Structure 1
Amino acid sequence: MEHNEILSILEGMLFLSGDEGLTIKQISSVLQLSKKEATEYMDELIQIENEKIIKGFEIVNFGGVFKFATLSKHHEYYQRMVEQNENSLSNAALETLAIIAYNQPVTRVRIEEIRGVGCDAMIRKLVAKALIKEIGREETPGKPILYGVTDEFMDAFSLTTLDELPELKEIKEDFDQEDIFNTKYTESAENSEVE
């Protein structure tokens, strides 16, 4: 395999790994390189990223795990963006939230199987909004995180218990295309504004 092709694949691997990041062991295994070669490619990729004229992220090494991270010098802008979006949930986030509420405790992999797409970003957003939280680990290889809803979720949707969630059959009949969570979340947000 060509040198630049390996760097290109490595960059894609870093992107796909998201918050979990990559270890040298994983890189060497996937690319079928020695650990020494994997380290050299990683060092070269870091150098290439650092030399870019315009960049919005960098490669960081946290305890032997490499991952992409936004530049800390731009923190105030990212914070502003998060604050502006604080009270809104996209349809994808609402869909993810509904899957967790109806299936908890549930792993990220199971959520993705139901949705049919990756949901790392949605889960991070929902955790940041304190609507979901880690409630344990599944006793399977890799011990994936199990997610469940929080008290804040219950408050946002004016629920005392999860038994108050409508039956999925009821939602389909009563709301057809309308998203029950979207409706409830909007109502809840309107009520808080009135107060």
Structure 2
Amino acid sequence: MKLIATASALALSAAPVLAGGLTEPQPTPEPVAVTPVAPVVASSLWSGGYVGAQAGYAWAEADDADDEGPIGGLHGGYLWNSGKFVYGIEGDYDWADVEFGDAGSLDSIGRIKAKAGYDLGRTLLYATAGGAYADAEIGGDSYSDWGWVAGAGVDYMVTDAWSVGAEALYHKFDDFDDSGADLSGTTLTAKVAYHF
């Protein structure tokens, strides 16, 4: 009986030690440092400067005389983008060979235009408007004057540096260089440009 009492006393005295051993706090693992990753923002193919050439056709009218003929020239500009919105400025110059019957001829036209469009990836749809400066011969005399121009176009990026496109523009010159003649015309051109 003494033996059972002694064994029971030893078991009871060891119980708190075993119980305490089970409730001791376990070591917590060190937190893993996570390095933030910056989001990748796709840059627009249409941002930056460009230069190129264009060729096409013009339909012009001076008062009651009208005719048509080829045009061609050079252009350059700069574009910025804000999300899918693309905007910028472009200057161009076209040599022209458009006769107004016996009334005269349109010899050249230059333009300074604002552009605004929508970025569809490799395709850019845009509207454009600005000032136009033309040289013409009317009744045997040379004239030049400012007017306005407005139109629309589409460009397609063939590679990351080269684009092709088409542009339609309407031009209007009231009382051209005080000649008494009102000039108007529409041009349709194909364009190619190098972007840098």
TM-score bin (small chain):
under 0.3
Tell me the TM-score normalised to structure 2 length: 0.21
Between 1 and 2, higher relative CO (CA 8 Å, sep ≥ 6) is seen in 2
The structure whose residues are more often strand, as a share, is 2
Tell me the TM-score normalised to structure 1 length: 0.21
**Larger Rg computed on CA atoms:** 2
